[in-house]
Amino acid sequence: MSAAADEPSAAQHAVPRRCGPAAVLDVEALAPWLGEQLQGEVRLAPPRRLSGGAVQENWALDVEVRDGPHAGAHALVLRADAPSAIAASLSRGEEFAVLQAAQLAGVTVPEPIAVCEDAALLGRPFYLMRRVAGSAAGHRLVRDAAIDGEALAARLGVELARLHALRAPIPGLEFLPEPDLAPAAFRVHTYRGYLDALARPRPALEWALRWLERFAPADDTLVLCHGDYRTGNYMVDGGRLTGILDWEFAAWSHPDEDLGWFCARCWRFGRDDREAGGIAPRKAFYRGYESVCGRTVQREAIAYWEVMATVRWAVLALQQGERHCSGEQRSLELALTGRMVPELELDLLEQIERILGVAA
């Protein structure tokens, strides 16, 4: 398997940007560049397109370096923009820089190898990372009896806390803007703008956004957030975590945003009895997180961010469906994603009702 997830990555909600077609990689152009990066003569097997990657393309590269300091076999992944990428996604050079920062913070990630921001080489920028073993298929992971779900959830909590220890300014991450509002208010403003840009009104989503606006926490704590930290974006091999994937939506935000995204019902893959990513009770995830971050996770605060997560995914699903219906990108996957919205809207109403019931 590869460092690329088997599940499509959830994206930020913005108008997609078009990229050139990429059915194959130009091996003749890639091999000399690889030789320069790995400091030796290379032999490159035909690249293999990996599954998943609705926002980015991931290619498996098997490279043999015949001489020099890195002589030997190397299993790599090349990551580049897909033909229809998302404008809010970081560039590949920016994502590479975030991956480097996460690795330095002690987060378990595929080793970043090299980046090429010259689109002339392959038609678009790309970067290379070490290929890690395992699977990221969420619908399989949540039903794998061989996985100790509580241990895995605790480990994922530890990994997230290591990431959240990073605060601005971080050398090399100057391209990440700091929001000019408190994180919750900033997200509400952003998602309302995306929703307003769509042709048809969605009263349930508008009502949920208004609720989020009314009860937005004023806490302006900012940490480096993954932005898509969920089951489906980490690799597991033999029950062991081997890598956190898909960093293209990293941003400065409140740490509870990542916690809420991981626990949101929409990312449990049908295992609603396991609130932490479909793999364990949330207390296991929180326990791992708290053991490193030094603060107590507040359940009511995470409930707010779970509502935010559902709104975010619903808006994205609307945008994905519109990409198909408009003819911009005909895709059964996009069409089916758009059909998820009514279920997400019902989930939102039930979530807020539960919160209000507890508050009462």
pLDDT at 18 over 60: no
**Chain segment 171-197, per-residue pLDDT in tens:** 999 999 999 999 999 999 999 999 999
Residue 54: pLDDT band (50, 70, 90) is low
pTM for the complete prediction? 0.90
- What pLDDT, on a 0 to 100 scale, did the predictor assign at position 2? 39
Distance between start and end Cα atoms, the chain: 49
Give the count of domains, the chain. Answer: 2
For residues 246 and 292, membership in a common domain is answered with yes
Burial-class residue 99 by CB neighbours within 10 Å (0-12, 13-18, 19+).
buried
Structure-token pair, residue 144: 């794998």
For residues 215 and 345, membership in a common domain is answered with yes
- Which domain does 82 fall in, by range? 16-130
- What pLDDT, on a 0 to 100 scale, did the predictor assign at position 242? 98
Mapped onto helix, strand or coil, the DSSP state of residue 304 is helix
- What pLDDT, on a 0 to 100 scale, did the predictor assign at position 324? 60
- Final residue before a domain boundary, out of 103, 130, 157: 130
- What pLDDT, on a 0 to 100 scale, did the predictor assign at position 13? 31
Mean pLDDT rounded to a whole number for the chain:
89
Higher pLDDT pick, 243 / 197: 243
CATH assignment of the domain containing 74? 3.30.200.20
For residues 142 and 124, membership in a common domain is answered with no
pLDDT at 103 over 60: yes
Cα distance between residue 175 and residue 90, in whole Å: 9
pLDDT at 104 over 90: yes
Cα distance between residue 56 and residue 1, in whole Å: 17
For residues 211 and 155, membership in a common domain is answered with yes
- What pLDDT, on a 0 to 100 scale, did the predictor assign at position 326? 63
- Final residue before a domain boundary, out of 90, 106, 130: 130
Tell me the C-alpha to C-alpha distance, in Å, between residue 220 and each of 175, 181, 185, 186, 299: 20, 8, 10, 10, 18
For residues 279 and 354, membership in a common domain is answered with yes
Residue 320: pLDDT band (50, 70, 90) is confident
Judged by average pLDDT, the poorest of 39-53, 170-184, 256-270 is 39-53
Cα distance between residue 349 and residue 346, in whole Å: 5
Q: Are 47 and 18 in contact (CB under 8 A)?
A: no
